[in-house]
Amino acid sequence: MNYDFSFYMPVNILGGKNALQNNKNIFLNLGKKCLIVTGASSAKKSGALDDLIDVFNEMNIEFAIFDKITENPLTSTCCDGGKVARDFQADFVVGIGGGSPLDASKAVCVYATNAHIINDGIYTENVENSPLPLVVIGTTSGTGSEVSGVSVLTRENGRKQSISGKNYYAKYAIADAKYTYSVPFRTTVSTVLDALAHAIESMFSKRADFLTQQFALISIKMIYPILEKLNNTKELPTEQERDTLYFASLYAGFALNKGGTGFPHGMGYALTEDYNVPHGIACAVFIPQFLTEAEKANPSLFNDVLNAMNSDKNSAEKLIYDLCDLQLSIPDERINEYVARWETLKNFKNSPTEFNNKDAGCLVKNLFK
């Protein structure tokens, strides 16, 4: 067996029930002033914001809240957050939320200490000063952003683009699944499909190795039966299932952080930008085709995926399409635009076969006539 691997994970992950309260001493070394970066509601609804404020009050840490992060956060919003952090003289940042606030909080830390970087400049300018230290608290089971050095932002032209590297890792991640308990059904489905897509896409990445594939398989094994149940019952997961889903999303995050994503993620961005399709659904709808390509390229690894699902290919495809439940009609002109835009999409190169932008155009046409 070839078990070559290398694993780099600079995030100190502190998990378990009441992980925030139990690990509050981490804040002793981070400073006395914190900017909390979050969206309009999930930080409050999840209970994470109240818990954090209790800890800050106990420890005499002064804080300000920047709660302007929307879905698919704009570089300009994150740049504004950086300015707020500078004006407040924050020593560190805490990001609370699902993928959007967590990715945004990573960028806020970079903008805060690099006033020369404005908006889309984050993609091109040098990061001259170390970003502010970041603590992230996840509130959805999907993104894996807690454990990745990746931030996906939306450019001023409305296109999503990721940025990654050592400046985009949190210092600490608080992993307490109780903060996911209040996520509604449809968001739960979408975020868990995102985690499943991370696990499956990263499995077949050119950068995957033995260890990341094991992480991905563990994640698929944890997620799949719960997705089947969600689809059958249309009921919210139990707290125990929520715990499983949250930790599965972290395993998928470990795999994603090394392997990166394939064409489902690259193509999915367009559905989110133009049709407001939630990220997880927008990517997962292309997973059945990805599995077809994966089977051609690496039948043995593909069988490992089916074994982890304890399912067959047809049932897996049907389950994913049922959960996506996406009724879209995309006109030919727009599909032609996508084909042109995807000419340079790197995700195709990180996929298992020669599937390319033209094939992708045909797939979109078939799915969304």
Per CB under 5 A, residues contacting Fe ion are 194
Query: Measured from the CB atom, is 65 or 258 closer to Fe ion?
Result: 258
**Spatial CA neighbour of 97 closest among 48, 131, 134, 133:** 48
Neighbours of 2 (CB within 10 A): 6
* Angstrom distances, CA of residue 326 to CA of 107, 226, 275, 322, 330: 31, 20, 11, 8, 12
Rounded to the nearest whole angstrom, what is the least distance from the CB of residue 126 to Fe ion in the complex? 27
Query: Measured from the CB atom, is 100 or 167 closer to Fe ion?
Result: 100
Q: Do 201 and 259 form a contact (C-beta atoms < 8 A)?
A: yes
Q: Do 187 and 140 form a contact (C-beta atoms < 8 A)?
A: yes
Rounded to the nearest whole angstrom, what is the least distance from the CB of residue 14 to Fe ion in the complex? 23
Which residues, 6 or more positions from 361, have their beta carbon under 8 angstroms from its beta carbon? 335, 336, 338, 339, 342
Is the Cα dihedral 332, 338, 341, 343 positive or negative?
negative
Query: Measured from the CB atom, is 48 or 255 closer to Fe ion?
Result: 255
Q: How far apart are CA 287 and CA 320, in angstroms?
A: 8
- The closest residue (CB) to Fe ion is 194
Which residues, 6 or more positions from 163, have their beta carbon under 8 angstroms from its beta carbon? 107, 122, 123, 150, 151, 152, 153
Query: Measured from the CB atom, is 23 or 145 closer to Fe ion?
Result: 145
Query: Measured from the CB atom, is 63 or 275 closer to Fe ion?
Result: 275
Query: Measured from the CB atom, is 146 or 194 closer to Fe ion?
Result: 194
Query: Measured from the CB atom, is 194 or 243 closer to Fe ion?
Result: 194
Q: How far apart are CA 359 and CA 61, in angstroms?
A: 54
Rounded to the nearest whole angstrom, what is the least distance from the CB of residue 324 to Fe ion in the complex? 14
For residue 13, list its beta bridge partners. Answer: 173
Rounded to the nearest whole angstrom, what is the least distance from the CB of residue 57 to Fe ion in the complex? 35
Rounded to the nearest whole angstrom, what is the least distance from the CB of residue 4 to Fe ion in the complex? 26
Rounded to the nearest whole angstrom, what is the least distance from the CB of residue 43 to Fe ion in the complex? 20
Which residues, 6 or more positions from 54, have their beta carbon under 8 angstroms from its beta carbon? 21
Rounded to the nearest whole angstrom, what is the least distance from the CB of residue 118 to Fe ion in the complex? 27
